[in-house]
C-alpha cells in the first residue's frame, strides 16, 4: 500500500513502570481465556493513552497473541492519516516507527470526533471487525482525548456498548472518566482498570497538534497520481455535486441574486439544493436564500472549498481503499479529478469528507 514518509516522532524509551502495568493488564486479559480480548484505552488529552496502548500491544504480543493496534484518534493518528480510524498488526518496536501505515482505514472525514461521533463509532466498530476477520488474537484500541461533556459521554458510551471490550483501561488525573465508566461498573463482561495519569506530562498545544496533522497529510499525499472518475459510474456519498438534476431557471436566478456570486453549478436532489459558487458567500446570504426556499435544504459550497476536499475511495466490498484530494469537479463532463497516493483497481464509490487540505497538507477549511 502507500508508503508513509512522515518524519518520525521522537519516541522516548518505554517507561519501566508503565511496562510493568501493561504486562499485568495483558496477563489478566490473556488469563480470561477469550479468543480475542479487546482492550480499550480511555483518558483525557495528554494523559499517556497512546504510550500505554503501544505498551499493551507489546505485552500481548510477548504473550504470543497476534495483536492488532487500532487507532481511533482522528486528529492525532499514529496509524493511518488523520480523519480516519486505522489498524495494523503490532510487531516489536513498531512504536518507534510511528506514525505507521495502516493495514486498513475507515474514513470519518473530520479531524475532530465531536463533529462526527456516529462516524467515529461506526469506523471503530468496522475496523475492529476487520482486525478480527484478519485473525487478530488481541486488539488494543487507542482513543481520542475527548472525555468531558455530553458529546464525549455519548461517543465513549457508544464505543463501549458497541464493542463490549473485555478491558476498559481508564487513565485519569482526577475523576474525569467516572461519568463515562459509571454505567459499566457492574457489567460482568467488562473489567474496568483505573490508572492514574503520570504527573507532569506536558500538554501539546493546539498549534503543535495542527502541525503534526499537516506533516501527516503532507506525507500521505507526497507522491500522488491524478485520477479521473466518471460520476456516472461511481456512487457519491456526502455533499459533492453530481447527485442531482439541474435546478430550474427561477431557482437558479433566485440563488444567484441572494448569494451575490456567480453559480458554477446548481443541482437538486433528495439531499436538497446544492449550489457551487465562484466565490465564498456569507452565512447570512445563505440564510436569506434558505428562507426563500423553506421546503428544502440549501447547501452552498464555494468552488475553493471543494478544491482540496478530502474524500475516500470505496471498493466493491465497501472498504475505504485510500484517501484522495479533490482537484476539480467537472460537473458538465461528469468527472471528478483527484490526487491519490495509489490508484485502486476498482472504485465504486466516493465519500466526501468535511476537511480540505492544500498540497502541503495544511487544513484550509473545516466545517
Ligand atoms: N508513564 C509515562 N511516564 C513518563 N512519560 C510518559 C508516560 N506516558 C506517556 N508519557 C509521555 O507523555 C507524552 C504524551 O503521551 P501520549 O502521547 O501517550 O499521551 P496521549 O494521552 O495519547 O495524548 P493525546 O491527547 O495527544 O492522544 C509523550 O511524550 C510520552 O512519551
Ligand atoms: Mg494519543
Q: Are 336 and 326 in contact (CB under 8 A)?
A: yes
Q: Is residue 166 part of a domain?
A: yes
Residue 155's SS3 state is helix
Q: What is the rounded CA–CA span in Å between residue 104 and residue 272? A: 33
Length of the chain: 367
Residue nearest to atom 31 of ligand 1 (CA): 12
Question: Which residues fall within 8 angstroms of residue 317, CB to CB, at 6 or more apart?
Answer: none
User: Is residue 9 lining ligand 1, measured as CB closer than 6 Å?
Assistant: no
Pick the atom of ligand 1 nearest to 43's CA. 21
CA of 298 to the centre of ligand 1 (A): 44
Does residue 227 share a domain with residue 205? no
Q: Is residue 282 part of a domain?
A: yes
Q: Is residue 23 part of a domain?
A: yes
Supply the DSSP symbol for 301: E
User: Is residue 201 lining ligand 1, measured as CB closer than 6 Å?
Assistant: yes
Does residue 236 share a domain with residue 155? no
Confidence at residue 367, expressed as pLDDT on a 0 to 100 scale: 45
Q: Is residue 343 part of a domain?
A: yes
User: Is residue 166 lining ligand 1, measured as CB closer than 6 Å?
Assistant: no
Does residue 234 share a domain with residue 146? no
Does residue 277 share a domain with residue 130? no
For the chain, 367 residues long, give each residue's pLDDT as a single digit of tens: 444 445 555 455 668 899 999 999 999 999 999 999 999 999 999 999 999 999 999 999 999 999 999 999 999 999 999 999 999 999 999 999 989 999 999 999 999 999 899 999 999 999 999 999 999 999 999 999 999 999 999 999 999 999 999 999 999 999 999 999 999 999 999 999 999 999 889 999 999 999 999 999 999 999 999 999 988 888 888 777 776 788 999 999 999 999 999 898 898 988 889 998 988 999 999 999 999 999 999 999 888 788 899 999 999 999 999 999 999 877 666 788 999 999 999 999 999 998 999 999 999 864 4
Ligand nearest to the CA of 46: 1
Distance of CA 139 to the CA centre of its chain: 18
Q: Is residue 317 part of a domain?
A: yes
Residue nearest to atom 16 of ligand 1 (CA): 48
Pick the atom of ligand 1 nearest to 18's CA. 1
User: Is residue 19 lining ligand 1, measured as CB closer than 6 Å?
Assistant: no
Q: Is residue 2 part of a domain?
A: no
Confidence at residue 9, expressed as pLDDT on a 0 to 100 scale: 55
Q: Which of 181, 209, 237 is the last residue of a domain?
A: 209
Domain enclosing residue 268, as ranges: 221-367
User: Is residue 82 lining ligand 1, measured as CB closer than 6 Å?
Assistant: no
Q: What is the rounded CA–CA span in Å between residue 100 and residue 57? A: 14
Burial track 224-263 (b if 16+ CB lie within 10 A, e otherwise): beebebebeebebbbbbbbbbeebeeebeebbbebbebeb
Closest CA to 312 of 121, 131, 102: 102
Does residue 275 share a domain with residue 177? no
Domain count, the chain: 2
Q: Are 73 and 98 in contact (CB under 8 A)?
A: no
Predicted TM-score (pTM) above 0.85: yes
β-strands 67-71, 138-142 pairing:
parallel
Residue nearest to atom 28 of ligand 1 (CA): 48
Does residue 308 share a domain with residue 162? no
Pick the atom of ligand 1 nearest to 145's CA. 25
Does residue 175 share a domain with residue 231? no
Does residue 261 share a domain with residue 184? no
Q: Are 106 and 123 in contact (CB under 8 A)?
A: yes
Q: Which of 209, 241, 271 is the last residue of a domain?
A: 209
Residues 4, 229, 357: CA angle, nearest 5 degrees: 45
Peptide bond into 71 cis (omega under 30): no
Confidence at residue 366, expressed as pLDDT on a 0 to 100 scale: 45
Q: Which of 188, 209, 230 is the last residue of a domain?
A: 209
Does residue 240 share a domain with residue 180? no
Confidence at residue 4, expressed as pLDDT on a 0 to 100 scale: 47
- The CATH number of whichever domain residue 150 belongs to comes to 3.40.50.300
Q: What is the rounded CA–CA span in Å between residue 365 and residue 263? A: 20
Q: Is residue 11 part of a domain?
A: no
Does residue 40 share a domain with residue 185? yes
Distance of CA 114 to the CA centre of its chain: 11
β-strands 235-237, 349-357 pairing:
parallel
Q: Is residue 7 part of a domain?
A: no
Pick the atom of ligand 1 nearest to 45's CA. 25
* Residue 193, CB-side half-sphere exposure with 13 Å CA sphere: 18
Does residue 228 share a domain with residue 186? no
Does residue 187 share a domain with residue 238? no
Amino acid at each position: 500500500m502507500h508508503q508513509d514518509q512522515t518524519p518520525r516522532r521522537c519516541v522516548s524509551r518505554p517507561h519501566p513502570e508503565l511496562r510493568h502495568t501493561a504486562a499485568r493488564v495483558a496477563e489478566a486479559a490473556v488469563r480470561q481465556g477469550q479468543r480475542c480480548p479487546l482492550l480499550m484505552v480511555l483518558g483525557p488529552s495528554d494523559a499517556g493513552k497512546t504510550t500505554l496502548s503501544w505498551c499493551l500491544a507489546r505485552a500481548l504480543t510477548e504473550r504470543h497473541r497476534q495483536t492488532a493496534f487500532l487507532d481511533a484518534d482522528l486528529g492525532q493518528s499514529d496509524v493511518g492519516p488523520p480523519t480516519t480510524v486505522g489498524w495494523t498488526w503490532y510487531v516489536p518496536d513498531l512504536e518507534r516507527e510511528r506514525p505507521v501505515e495502516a493495514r486498513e482505514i475507515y474514513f470519518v472525514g473530520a479531524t475532530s470526533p465531536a463533529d462526527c461521533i456516529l462516524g467515529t463509532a461506526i469506523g471503530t466498530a468496522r475496523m475492529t471487525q476487520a482486525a478480527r476477520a484478519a485473525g487478530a488474537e488481541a486488539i488494543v484500541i487507542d482513543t481520542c482525548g475527548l472525555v468531558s461533556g455530553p458529546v464525549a459521554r455519548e461517543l465513549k458510551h457508544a464505543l463501549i456498548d458497541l464493542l463490549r471490550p473485555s478491558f476498559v483501561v481508564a487513565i485519569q488525573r482526577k475523576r474525569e472518566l467516572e461519568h463515562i465508566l459509571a454505567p459499566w461498573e457492574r457489567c460482568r463482561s467488562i473489567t474496568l482498570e483505573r490508572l492514574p495519569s503520570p504527573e507532569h506530562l506536558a500538554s501539546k498545544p493546539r498549534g503543535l497538534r495542527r502541525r503534526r496533522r499537516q506533516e501527516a497529510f503532507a506525507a500521505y499525499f507526497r507522491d500522488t497520481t491524478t485520477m479521473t472518475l466518471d460520476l456516472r459510474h461511481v456512487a457519491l456519498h456526502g455533499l459533492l455535486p453530481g447527485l442531482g438534476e439541474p435546478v430550474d431557471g427561477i431557482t437558479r436566478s433566485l440563488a444567484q441574486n441572494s448569494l451575490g456570486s456567480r453559480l458554477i453549478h446548481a443541482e437538486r436532489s433528495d439531499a436538497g439544493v446544492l449550489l457551487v459558487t465562484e466565490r465564498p458567500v456569507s452565512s447570512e446570504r445563505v440564510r436569506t436564500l434558505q428562507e426563500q426556499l423553506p421546503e428544502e435544504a440549501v447547501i452552498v459550497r464555494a468552488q475553493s472549498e471543494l478544491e482540496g476536499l478530502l474524500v475516500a475511495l470505496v471498493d466493491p466490498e465497501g472498504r475505504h481503499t485510500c484517501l484522495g484530494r479533490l482537484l476539480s469537479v467537472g460537473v458538465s463532463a461528469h468527472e471528478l479529478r483527484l490526487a491519490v497516493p495509489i490508484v485502486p483497481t476498482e472504485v465504486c464509490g466516493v465519500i466526501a469528507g468535511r476537511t480540505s487540505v492544500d498540497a502541503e497538507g495544511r487544513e484550509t477549511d473545516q466545517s
